[in-house]
Every structure is written in structure tokens, then in C-alpha cells.
Amino acid sequence: MIGVIDYGGGNLRNVLNVLKHLDVESDLVASPDDFHSTDRVLFPGVGAMGDCMRVLEERGLTEPLRQWIAEDRPYFGICLGYQVLFEASEESSNVHGLGAFQGRVVKFPGDTGLKVPHMGWNAIQRTDPEDPIWTGVADDAHVYFVHSFYPQPEDEAMISSRTEYGVEFASSIRKGNTFACQFHPERSQQVGLQLIKNFAHG
């Protein structure tokens, strides 16, 4: 059972539909008790960290999420579900993230000549092609991005893929049973489906 974190965002149904398409049992996690019936957590996300953290606090999900990650239980974060793993974000300067990992979420610099937000297809370069999460995914595969901010992990050893967009940034991380990515697998066609399948059956 994959529990999909219900943080009040608008793309939850898309993710649930993808899981249904893959014949993966799933349900929303909207309260602390919902964690008891799930084996894996998937945190999709669009929106700002400040609004997201406020809803997580209101629903009592913050501490259960921190505990889940601290216990190294399977976690898959998408976009905002990636960013909230870190300590803080330039987008919401007075708001703390989950702080599961050290690092900050920063905005793309404005002097690259490239449009922000970074929107559309771009390539990823995997740092460890042998990681089971990448099974069936080619190096330099293209995935779909929509974001203006990205995490800068202090521990570069946890970077699972990198992407170039004016600057090189960590487009995904892997730490134990936690995998999180800045791109949207649910919008990345076969590559994205393969990643979610690898997580669901890993």
C-alpha cells in the first residue's frame, strides 16, 4: 500500500491515477492514523513550501513524516515533496521545512538568460546507474520539470541525478530508502512510470 500525502495540493488525483494504471494499491494520507495502514509514502507536490508546511501542521502530518524518514522507511518525494525534505527555502523565508536533510531550497539565478520557471523536458544524468530506482531508465533520459526553485543538499553524496539549466542542480536525491526528485514522474511518460513502478515494487 502506497500512502499519498494529502497536503491540499491540486495534483493528487493525477498521481493516484498513475498508481491505479500501474495496478498499485494506494490511498490518501490525510491524518496521522493513516500512516498505520501504509507501507510506502509518496509525497507529490505543486505550490509553495510555506503553504504546504502550514497544511501539514494543521493536519498533524509533520511529525509523523519526520519520524517516517528518520526510520528510513520508503519515501518518494516529487517536486514540493522533494523540497520540503530540507531545512528552509528562499521561497518562504520564515518557514522551516521538515529538516530531514541539511540544505536549502534556492531560486534559479536571474542572470542565465533562461526563462524561469524552468518548464518542460530536460535531461537527467544519473550519479549511480546501478541504483535499483533507475532500473529501466537510460542515462540522459528526459523528464518533465515545472519549477523556479531547487534544493542544494549539503551532502553531495546523496545526489542521485543532476540536470543543467543555466546552472547544474540536483534533480534528485537518494538517501537510504528515501528518493526524491524535482521533476514530475507522473508527467514524464514511460520514464516516469518506470521510476514509480521501481519504487512501488522495490
**Digits of tens for pLDDT over the chain (202 positions)?**
999 999 887 678 889 999 999 999 999 999 999 999 999 999 998 888 899 999 999 999 999 999 999 999 999 999 999 999 999 999 888 889 999 999 999 999 988 889 999 999 999 999 999 999 999 999 899 999 999 999 999 999 999 999 999 999 999 999 999 999 999 999 999 999 999 999 999 8
The count of domains in the chain is 1
Dihedral sign, Cα of residue 160, residue 122, residue 79, residue 188: negative
The yes-or-no answer on residue 52 being catalytic is no
Which residue of the set 52, 91, 181, 184 is catalytic? 184
Grid coordinates representing 140 are 540522459
The yes-or-no answer on residue 186 being catalytic is yes
**Can you give the pLDDT at residue 10?**
66
CATH number, domain of 135, equals 3.40.50.880
Cα–Cα distance for residue pair 160/133, rounded to 1 Å? 10
**Can you give the pLDDT at residue 95?**
87
Which residue of the set 52, 79, 118, 147 is catalytic? 79
**Can you give the pLDDT at residue 161?**
98
CB contact at 8 A, 19 and 200: yes
Measured CA to CA in angstroms, residue 132 lies from 75, 157, 165, 169 at distances of 14, 17, 26, 22
Q: 38: helix, coil or strand?
A: coil
**Can you give the pLDDT at residue 93?**
80
Instruction: Name the DSSP class of 109.
Output: P
Paired sense of beta strands 92-96 and 88-89, if any: antiparallel
The structure's pTM equals 0.96
User: Which domain range does residue 176 map to?
Assistant: 2-201
CB contact at 8 A, 45 and 33: no
Torsion (CA) 98, 103, 105, 107 in degrees, nearest 10: 170
What is the gyration radius of the CA atoms in the chain, in angstroms? 16
- State residue 168 phi and psi, 5-degree precision: -90, 130
Which residue of the set 36, 91, 186, 201 is catalytic? 186
Paired sense of beta strands 2-5 and 40-43, if any: parallel
Within 10 angstroms of residue 84's Cβ, the number of other Cβ atoms is: 28
Within 10 angstroms of residue 136's Cβ, the number of other Cβ atoms is: 13
